[in-house]
């Protein structure tokens, strides 16, 4: 009986490792944070937002249908076109990008040359089905990145973690891509500077 319990514990630990390794843990597939590495509860010292944009060549049929039904001119689907009796649309000849939502980065100073950075993605084009983001930072102690990927069937996703930036000014930005109900979106590089004690 004891061997069976031990085998079950080993199997559960192995499954947890697979879930974390392959990003099957949902929105927080990066390393789990605990204790002093958990997100601060106070308001952030700095928050900066930037738009996410759609690569209109990836606009999915669901996005086109929604735009038509709700008279939303995303990626130019209503420009220079007409709504025919059958609900078809002639898209703009050269649509390049469209609005996809916002990406934000927030930062907190933790003291002792450490900061905490967090990203937030908010989609305006349906549920976020997959995201792959990096928070890239640099400071007096050098630079690094915090990487995140996962699925999140909602319109918002967040993630973050601590960084050893060193004391003084630290810079950080968010980069990556997001797959939503409608299309592939690119994060618009929100960037920030933070004085770390």
Would you state the pLDDT for residue 77? 76
Map out the domains of the chain as residue ranges: 1-25, 26-31+42-54+100-196
Distances (CA, A) of 124 to 100, 103, 164, 177: 5, 11, 34, 14
Per-residue confidence band for 72, with pLDDT thresholds at 50, 70 and 90: confident
Q: Give the pairing type, strands 156-164 and 168-180.
A: unpaired
Is the pLDDT score of 95 beyond 50? no
Long-range CB contacts (< 8 A, 24+ apart) of 72-79? Answer: 74/98, 74/99, 74/125, 74/182, 75/183
The pLDDT confidence band at residue 4, using thresholds 50, 70 and 90, is: very low
| Residue bearing tokens 């640099």 | 138
Residue 96 binned pLDDT confidence (cut-offs 50, 70, 90) = very low
C-alpha dihedral, 174 to 179 to 181 to 184, nearest 10°: 90
Q: What is the pLDDT of residue 100?
A: 87
Asked whether the predicted pLDDT for residue 114 surpasses 70, the reply is yes
Domain 26-31+42-54+100-196 fold:
Immunoglobulin-like (2.60.40)
Q: Is the pLDDT of residue 137 over 50?
A: yes
pLDDT at 153: 78
Examine the pLDDT at 127 and tell me if it is beyond 80. yes
pLDDT of residue 36: 55
Percent of the chain surpassing pLDDT 70: 71
pLDDT of residue 37: 65
The Cα 115–Cα 109 span in angstroms is 4
| CA neighbor of 91 nearest in space, from 62, 57, 52, 51 | 57
- pLDDT confidence of residue 22: 35
- The C-alpha atoms of residue 27 and residue 131 are separated, in whole angstroms, by 9
């Amino acid at each position: 009986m004891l061997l069976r319990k031990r085998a079950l514990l080993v199997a559960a630990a192995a499954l947890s490792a697979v879930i974390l390794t392959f990003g099957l843990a949902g929105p927080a597939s990066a390393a789990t944070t605990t204790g002093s590495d958990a997100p601060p509860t106070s308001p952030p010292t700095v928050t900066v937002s930037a738009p996410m944009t759609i690569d209109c060549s990836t606009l999915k049929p669901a996005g086109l249908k929604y735009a038509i039904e709700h008279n939303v001119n995303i990626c130019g689907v209503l420009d220079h076109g007409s709504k025919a009796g059958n609900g078809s649309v002639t898209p703009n000849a050269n649509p390049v990008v469209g609005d996809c939502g916002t990406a934000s980065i927030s930062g907190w100073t933790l003291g002792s040359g450490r900061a905490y950075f967090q990203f937030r993605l908010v989609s305006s084009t349906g549920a976020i089905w997959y995201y792959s983001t990096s928070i890239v930072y640099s400071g007096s102690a050098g630079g690094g990145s915090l990487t995140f990927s996962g699925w999140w069937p909602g319109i918002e996703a967040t993630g973050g973690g601590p960084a050893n930036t060193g004391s003084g000014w630290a810079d950080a930005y968010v980069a990556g891509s997001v797959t939503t109900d409608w299309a592939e979106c690119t994060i618009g590089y929100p960037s920030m500077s933070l004085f770390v004690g």
